Structure 1
Amino acid sequence: MNKDNLNLAFFPYKFRENQQELFEFIQKNINENNLIISAPTGFGKTIIILSAILPVANEMGKKIIWATKTGTETDRPIEELKIIDKYLMSKNQNSKIFGISIRGKKDMCLLKRVLSEEADYDEVSLFCKAKIKNNQCRYYNKLLYDYVPYQDTPLLYSEILNFAEKYEICPYYYQLSQIYDANVISVNYNYIFNEQISWTLRNKINFKDAILVVDEAHNLQFLISSLNQKEITLGTVKGSIKEMEEYKINNEEIKNFLNKLEKEMIRIMLILKEKNKEDIPIKLDKIVEKCGLVWDSELGEKIIEYGIKIRLTKIRENKVPRSSLYRLGDFLKSAYEMKNIDGVKIIASLKENNISFEIYDMRSSEIYSNIWNKFYRVILCSGTLGSIKSFAEIVGLENYVGKKVDFNIKKKNFLTLITNYLSTKGEELPKEEAVKYIESIERFVNSLNENVAIFSSSYRIQETLIENGLLEVLRRIPRKVFIETQDMPGDKAKRLLEDFKRQAYENIKGVLLASATGKFSEGADFPGKELVGVFLVGIPFDRLTSKTHLLINYYVKIYGRKKGIFYSYILPAIRRASHALGRAVRSPDDRAVFVLGDKRYKRFLKFLPKFSTINLFYINNYYQIEEIIKNKFK
């Protein structure tokens, strides 16, 4: 297909390097196949995919549903749609496109501002339904009965919210009313993959008349686990006991059960501490029976019933409808419904001085394959998929064609060193190995008068390096050090990230200490000078807990030993490493130095990004780090 045969009506730019190749691939294949696209951040995936499929979708009367990992990312495709819309207007074309960024009730409910504290999605949803049912939401009533001006340009989340506030209408139900006219609907993953939430879209769109685009699709492998995860803690049980007293619920059988369950959870917590274990699989039916009851569907439903009454009472008082009894009942009911499903286990996990019971769903392909079949076509895209064939098998996508595209990378812009003398292999990092890492990091930082990041394979490894003097070494160079911690609040993390970026333009440069399993290793952008070097301390494998062993065994059962171990344990770690390396490369003009600080990386080079292997050197001691960087990276 040459350029003359492409439908470029919706493409507002001139093609940059390799973009036309991807555009052609999409238009050539979308009518017959599902697509898997691997392209780096900064390539322009969003605008290419949108403008390539819009003419096809319009011609066939299909909608485009764009799914992103979080609600905060849903604006991105609509921002691109706005550019396309302006381009069409400048060309005086008759085509008019409309799109909306959909957000949940937690972000959209104006009435929830009367609540006494912050509420989660489920709590806001119940609050909303109760107020509408009792005719107590003036915003919903105004939307139903008042005149609302028509809008025909793509709408971001903030624009919908501001519009609704201006006309005092419900922004949540207003955005849903616009779905019928929208060419593009941007949503977070929950609206596609969460059965309880996806009905919101399914009620308004026939998925067979929609093309689904899943952005950052590398997140799919373990998404089901997080969506289906429900848990209770020791605090949940204690809260349930308190609610039974506070709300005068007279059911001695349930009260006795709760008291025994509290003691049983404490017993299991002490066992985990004594054996120095993080988690163990448990048989919930045996625990419930030991606590004096039979585990069946009625048990969870009865406790939920008490919880609902408490929640409705709180709504009448304009309080957050939170109930420990409801959470406990919902957990017991969900766990019972899933108890015979292969790939679902109940895990007891130690959390400092607390313990949790959680539903752990290890399934992937068997759930996704049913979802993909509901749509006309599916496009999965990301910059870190690894092997397209392996990824397709993991997420159960059939009838697909795949495409990998990349920047035209200049070898002189990148330098990678693999340390033959370092490894984090083992349960703990010995002091002598930690000292070798610190000496190597010192040489690395000394050789680059630029902002650099040290991504450790875990927070535990990062803490070991700090305990052995890493901070003192870095400050002596001198460098300003920025440390990401495991439970750092989002607003604090954002401020730290911005401060680190600004340090790139100061005389004393910054060093970011973070985990390759944390929030800074994926999703954070460091263009140009903001990040020029990345040192990976080890390979970010999952810690070999009971949970990890269960996952590996489940995958081995499905895919066989070799594939099972690779898919469940090795591939996720290499993907995390790739994300961390990619923080320094956001455009074809970026320059970066990488140190792969673990000799085991040699086995996985073919799975790493091209930019990190194009100019590769093996080193046998830390003296070589400074020497090679100063000679080879100019």
Structure 2
Amino acid sequence: MCGHSRSRACAAESCSQAFISKKIHSEAVYLDYIPYPSLRPHQDEMLDAVYDVVSTGGHGVLMIDAPTGSGKTSCISAALAAAPGKIVVAVRTVSQIGVYLDEINRIWSNTRHRPTVSYLIGKQKACLLASEIWGESIYYACMRLREGSKNYMASRLERGHNDIYDPSRDEIPDEPPGERTVCPHYLRSKEAFEINGKVYFRSSSAAVDAAERMSRRIVPVDALEKICGGVCPYEVMSLHAKSSDVIILNYHHLFSPDFQDAIIQWLGLEADRMTVIVDEAHNLGDSVREMNTRVLTPRILELAEREINRFEKALGQAKLGEEHHDWRREGLSTARLLIPRIRRFIAAKEARSKDGEMLLDGELFRQYVYDGIDDIDLALSYLSDVAVAIAEMKLAESDHETLYGDIQPSLATMVMFLREVEEAEHDSSYQRKIVTASSGERRWTRLEVTKIDPAPVIRRVVDNVNATLMLSGTLSPIDAYELYCLGEQGRARKISLPNPFPQSNRLIIAAERATTQLSARENPDNRNLISGYISALIEEVPGNVAVFFTSYPMMASYRDACARFARGAGKKVFTEPRSAEDVPQILEEFFRAGRSAGAVLLGVSGGKLAEGIDYKGEALNGVAVVGLPLSVFDEIQKEVISYYTHKYGKKRGTLIAYTLPAINRGLQAAGRVIRAESERGVILLCDSRFASMGLGGVRMYLPEWVQREMVLADPERCRLLIRDKLREWGEFSARSENI
């Protein structure tokens, strides 16, 4: 055993041997927990750094760029050993929750410690009535049924003349789906009690028991419903989280400007004792930028209009004195004037705009919407007052809710959008856009205003918690991510680890001359070169391969060629679907084909198949990243580049705003092929810019191990390199097997 008075050097030495502790009688006990023994000594370096930063505290930040297989999730063990309080893990998707549950399970299995772990998932996935809710948002339905349930409990409490009413000990109302006035699962999660004539609500014994069951085991997300036993899963998750050592949240819970302060208060956390782990941190900046985007759609305007009608009706019923109506009258009048104007503005843009994004002319928008209004700020203040009243009177309708389960009025969403449009007049960090999209004959347009820079929002978290760990397998170049996410050079301690998998198990080829740059994209010779590289991968690599393009149009332009190469190799072609709902079926068929002759998967870098999918084992033997996946260089992108260039200078500004996202998309796509130490695969970077150090080249920004292993080749040499590597592995090429 070692007490808290041990020196940091001694603690670090202990940590390099074992990485899990729980405070027992004022002492920290280090046990022999080495999650991935084969990855030492690099894992020792990583975990020692985690322990050092977390134990030192002081709002420290550690950024770790560690490739797949480096055991990044084991950092939670070192954090548990050093953290003064709770650990909050921020993840982007529900699927990532399972990775951390597995890691906690390893700790339970390999030590005598049992850190409790909880998670919060959205109501769309947690609600047991979701399948029968239609015609209204799940949030509005939840609010309506919660209110009905509370009213029901209050009436039963009064009728029974008891101090406490527990619905689970009574007969739960049996109502048909679609006609519910109460939620049976929420009723089982609460009990009502009365103090001095006022009714209050608290967690029921059934909810407490369910939370207790969750603390005694590691509960996968798909087992949540079963362990809750008919009690509302969302209420059980919330209750369990308040007493857990580790809480897994979505990025949105922790980094949304609307939730940042509320989540800490809601879960009873002490910010300066809270340690934050950000998983897949390369996504954090873009995700926070999305959270900082205000959207205005015809749907929101329709709901805002409904709220106005309800509010006006409620005012009539209230029969308040005329002296109290001034601000209400002004707010209603302003809403009646602005909502139709904004609706017509959107309709006009939809009729004239092509699919895609374009800058919103702020001055034109303001002139059209506020024509005849002398004081815009005063008009928005009246609207804000009405929106607050709508929320207080429970008249809101929306597809969004606050952390506490209250519906945010759509009128409030409209007001916040209009205020930020005004803010953009003198703040270059705001960007105003018109976005138009279509599907079949259906077409829709929305207005957006985005806070370009995510760093201030992220800093509101990291500058107030004990310590922050930012983990990713593609956090390269790490200095650029530091500026993008933290807005300051030197704010974080940074570690970049080498690839832990054997170099002999992979072949990285970069195109010598081919490129998808606009100037050469349609050049016949250039297209022949790209086709030559693709054919080498499809025809020579046995089993399944994937080819990721920079865009859907580019994928379509090479689809026939890919189909021709696939036929020659006896493989079937699968194409990335536009709808996410079709992805599971496509992947199932693709994986099944890999168990026979193999298949070719065509997708887009940054798309649904290039990130977040784990192609384990023989599911994928080769991948080609065709082109450096830069964003379209339009007015939208130019404005973002201009903002960062002004902030950091031309070189670093362009890197952060334009090049960095492209590198990440490319690395994410390339990283699909080798996901475990025993796997082998071919990675083809089919654009000369990946290998170039000159103008437009990105080689200097790639991970060091990629730069070192990259082999330049023309299409013919690419084919020969693949054959040589397959012979080394004792395998035959796809072409050899079909001759």
TM-score by length of 2: 0.74
Which of 44, 57, 66 in structure 1 is aligned with 2:89?
Answer: 66
Matched to 2:360, the amino acid is P
* Amino acid of the structure 1 residue aligned with 2:86: K
Letter aligned with residue 196 of structure 1: D
CA contact (8 A) 2:514 2:687 kept: yes
Q: CA 1:540–1:7 in 2, change beyond 3 Å: closer, same or farther?
A: same
Cα distance in 2 for residues equivalent to 1:525 and 1:535 = 16
Assess, with a 3 A threshold, how the Cα gap between structure 1 residues 502 and 20 changes in structure 2: closer, same or farther.
farther
Q: Deviations over 1:401-426 (max 9, x none)?
A: 22222344434322222223311112
Give, in angstroms, the shift of residue 238 of structure 1: 6.7
Cross-structure match for 1:617: 711
What corresponds to 2:367 in structure 1? 286
Displacement of 1:255: 4.8
The residue number in structure 2 matching 1:521 is 610
Which piece of structure 1 moves more, 258-267 or 63-72?
Answer: 258-267
Q: Supply the distance in 1 between the matched residues of 2:552 and 2:382 (Cα, whole angstroms).
A: 40
Query: What is the deviation of 1:436?
Result: 4.1
Distance 1:207 1:160 in 2: 28
Aligned to 1:21: 45
Q: 2:550 aligns with which of 453, 457, 463?
A: 457
Between 534-543 and 471-480, report the one with greater CA deviation. 471-480
> Are the aligned partners of 1:279 and 1:347 in contact in 2 as well (CA < 8 Å)?
yes
1:262 to 310, 326, 343: 343
Separation in structure 1 between the aligned mates of residue 589 and residue 565 of structure 2, nearest angstrom: 21
Correspondence for 1:153: 216
Q: 1:130 to 1:472 in 2, by over 3 A?
A: farther
1:185 corresponding residue in structure 2: 247
**Whole-angstrom CA distance in 1 between matches of 2:282 and 2:397:** 40
CA contact (8 A) 2:499 2:705 kept: no
Alignment gaps of 5+ in structure 1: 90-94, 316-323
- Match for 1:202: what amino acid? Q
Identify which of 172, 183, 187 aligns with 1:138.
187
Q: Distance in 2 between matches of 1:312 and 1:119?
A: 14
Alignment partners' CA distance in 1, 2:48 and 2:290: 36
Residue equivalent to 1:318: none
Superposition map of 1:340-359 within 5 A: 340=423, 341-352=427-438, 353-359=443-449
Matched, 1:55 2:81: yes
Identify the residue that residue 81 of structure 1 maps to in structure 2.
104
Q: Check whether the contact 2:501–2:676 (CA below 8 A) recurs between aligned residues.
A: no
1:343 deviates by 0.9
Deviation at 1:3, TM superposition (A): 5.9
Q: Relative to structure 1, is the Cα distance of residues 170 and 412 closer, same or farther in structure 2, using a 3 angstrom cutoff?
A: closer
d(CA) in 1 for partners of 2:360, 2:643 = 14
Specify whether residues 106 and 307 from structure 1 end up closer, same or farther in structure 2 by C-alpha distance, changes over 3 A only: farther
Tell me which amino acid in the other structure corresponds to 1:205.
L
CA–CA distance in 2 between the matches of 1:65 and 1:309?
32
3-state secondary structure, aligned to 2:660: helix
Q: Is 1:579 aligned to 2:668, yes or no?
A: yes
Identify the residue that residue 319 of structure 1 maps to in structure 2: none
How far 1:427 moved relative to its partner?
7.9
Alignment-mate amino acid for residue 496 of structure 1 = I
1:494-522 alpha-carbon deviations (Å, 9 max, x no partner): 2212221222210x211110000202111
Q: What is aligned with 1:331?
A: 414
For structure 2, list consecutive stretches of 5 or more residues without a partner in the other structure.
Answer: 1-11, 20-29, 154-181, 192-201, 317-331, 399-406, 692-696, 728-739
Distance 1:499 1:197 in 2: 40
What do the CA deviations read for 1:123-179 (whole angstroms, capped 9, x no partner)?
A: 456446534553554133257343543334244334443222x2x433222222223
Q: Is the 8 A contact 2:285 2:484 kept in 1?
A: yes
Aligned position for 2:687? 598
Check whether the contact 1:416–1:615 (CA below 8 A) recurs between aligned residues.
Answer: yes
CA distance in 2, matches of 1:229, 1:519: 22
Equivalent runs, 1:431-580 vs 2, <5 Å: 432=524, 433-466=526-559, 469-485=561-577, 487-490=578-581, 492-506=582-596, 508-580=597-669
Per the TM alignment, residue 113 of structure 1 is displaced from its structure 2 partner at its CA by 5.8
Stretch of structure 1 that moved more, 185-194 or 607-616: 607-616
Which entry has the higher C-alpha Rg, 1 or 2? 2
Matched residue type, 1:119 = S
Q: Which residue matches 1:104?
A: 122
1:44 aligns with 71
* 1:498-552 deviation line (CA, Å, top 9, x unaligned): 221222210x211110000202111111123211111111101011122211111
* Contact 2:254–2:263 (CA under 8 A) maintained in structure 1: no
In the TM superposition, what whole-angstrom CA distance separates every residue of 1:281-335 from its partner, at most 9, and x where no partner exists? 33143332249796442465378579869985989xxxxxxxx995465133244
Give the equivalent residue in structure 2 for 1:219.
283
Give the structure 2 partner of residue 320 of structure 1.
none
The 1:170/1:625 distance shift into structure 2, 3 A limit, reads: same
Matched, 1:588 2:681: no
| RMSD of aligned residue pairs (Cα, Å) | 3.4
1:619 is displaced (CA, Å) by 2.7
* C-alpha spacing 1:255/1:191, structure 2 compared with 1 (3 Å): closer
Question: Aligned partners of 2:669, 2:651: CA distance in 1, in Å?
Answer: 26
Which moved further from structure 2: 540-549 or 387-396?
387-396
Task: Judge conservation of contact 1:447–1:630 (CA < 8 Å) in 2.
Answer: yes
Residues 481 and 513 of structure 1 are in contact (CA less than 8 Å); yes or no, is this contact kept in structure 2?
yes
Distance 1:229 1:623 in 2: 47
Contact 1:82 1:153 in 2 (8 A): no
Q: Indicate the SS of the match to 1:573.
A: helix
- The answer to whether the 8 Å contact 1:429/1:461 transfers is no
Q: Is the 1:139–1:170 Cα contact (8 Å) retained in structure 2?
A: yes
Task: State whether structure 2 residue 198 is matched by structure 1 residue 119.
Answer: no
1:406 aligns with 2:498: yes
Farther-moved stretch of structure 1 (65-74 vs 423-432): 423-432
Q: Is contact 1:424–1:538 with CA below 8 Å preserved after alignment?
A: yes
Inter-CA distance 402–339: structure 2 relative to 1 (3 Å threshold): same
1:524 partner SS: coil
Does the CA contact (< 8 Å) of 1:303 and 1:326 recur in 2? no
Structure 1-normalised TM-score? 0.85
State the secondary structure of the residue aligned to 1:384: coil
Q: Secondary structure at the match of 1:503?
A: helix
Question: How much has 1:618 moved relative to structure 2?
Answer: 2.1
Tell me if 1:31 matches 2:55.
Answer: yes
Query: Which residue matches 1:630?
Result: 723
Give distance in 1, aligned partners of 2:519 and 2:309: 45
Q: Which amino acid aligns with 1:483?
A: T
Give the percent of matched residue pairs that are identical in Structure 1 and Structure 2: 20
What amino acid is aligned across from residue 580 of structure 2 in structure 1?
A: P
TM-superposition CA deviations, 1:354-386 (whole Å, max 9, x none) = 322112221122222221112011111111101
Per the alignment, residue 366 of structure 1 pairs with: 456
- Describe the superposition over 1:227-269 as per-residue Cα deviations: whole angstroms up to 9, x where unpaired: 1223233565577779989999897764554444333323334
Displacement of 1:270 in angstroms is: 4.6
Conserved 8 A contact 1:299-1:332: no
Secondary structure of the equivalent of 1:576? helix
Looking at structure 1, the residues matched to 653 and 397 of structure 2 have their Cα atoms a distance apart, in angstroms, of 48
Q: CA 1:294–1:429 in 2, change beyond 3 Å: closer, same or farther? A: farther
- SS of equivalent residue, structure 1 residue 547: helix
Distance (Å, rounded) in 1 between the aligned partners of 2:411 and 2:432: 14
Q: In the TM superposition, what is the alpha-carbon distance from 1:72 to its structure 2 partner?
A: 3.6
